[in-house]
């Protein structure tokens, strides 16, 4: 908020999920933490990795690999989580690793390709072409809405 980005520059926290680079708007990111003492929730949707106590708050962890259909984690390095909030509830998005913060020009954003996997298309707000790789912008609200919408329809 105190930085002076020109109107179209936005800051994103980057994260690797299943070999793909993603970017989350920095204003939505509360913190980054190492999930510990995770409690599995029986009967929960597959993408809910569990719940944990983060400084006295109960945080629901969403496994982004599972949500986006990017396969299961194979390596043993501990996963990271990005803390986000919505309507007073705390969530953690489980990712493989967190990267640097990038400033990206909104004007350079490109729409999702039409042949993008439906699970990715559902939560991606567009694509930035970086040097050597593509960065997919994550719409945090849509990530948190997936599932609640299906719960209503059920």
Contact residues for other proteins (CB under 8 A)?
A: 37, 39-45, 48, 51-53, 56, 58, 60, 62, 87, 89, 91, 144, 147-148, 151-154
Closer to other proteins by CB, 10 or 122: give it: 122
- The distance of closest approach from Cβ of residue 61 to other proteins in the complex, given in angstroms and rounded to an integer, is 10
User: Tokens 């496994």, residue?
Assistant: 63
How far apart CA 119 and CA 112 sit, in angstroms, is: 12
Q: How far is CA 80 from the centre of its chain?
A: 11
CA distances from 63 to 21, 37, 74, 131, 138 (A): 16, 15, 14, 27, 14
How far apart CA 45 and CA 66 sit, in angstroms, is: 10
Closer to other proteins by CB, 50 or 104: give it: 50
Closer to other proteins by CB, 82 or 127: give it: 82
- The distance of closest approach from Cβ of residue 19 to other proteins in the complex, given in angstroms and rounded to an integer, is 26
SS3 108: helix
Closer to other proteins by CB, 6 or 148: give it: 148
* Angle at alpha carbon of residue 67, lines to 61 and 73, rounded to 5°: 80
- The distance of closest approach from Cβ of residue 132 to other proteins in the complex, given in angstroms and rounded to an integer, is 35
- The distance of closest approach from Cβ of residue 71 to other proteins in the complex, given in angstroms and rounded to an integer, is 22
């Amino acid at each position: 908020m105190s930085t002076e980005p020109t109107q179209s520059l936005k800051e994103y926290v980057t994260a690797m999920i299943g070999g793909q680079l993603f970017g989350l708007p920095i204003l939505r990111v509360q913190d980054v933490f190492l999930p510990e003492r995770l409690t599995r929730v029986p009967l929960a949707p597959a993408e809910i990795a569990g719940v944990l106590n983060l400084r006295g708050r109960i945080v629901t962890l969403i496994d982004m690999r599972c949500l986006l259909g990017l396969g299961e984690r194979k390596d043993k390095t501990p996963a990271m989580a990005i803390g986000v909030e919505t309507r007073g509830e705390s969530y953690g998005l489980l990712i493989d690793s967190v990267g640097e913060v990038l400033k990206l020009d909104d004007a350079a954003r490109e729409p999702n390709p039409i042949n993008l996997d439906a699970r990715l298309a559902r939560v991606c707000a567009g694509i930035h072409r970086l040097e050597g790789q593509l960065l997919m912008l994550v719409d945090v609200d849509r990530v948190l809405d997936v599932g609640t919408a299906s719960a209503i329809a059920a």
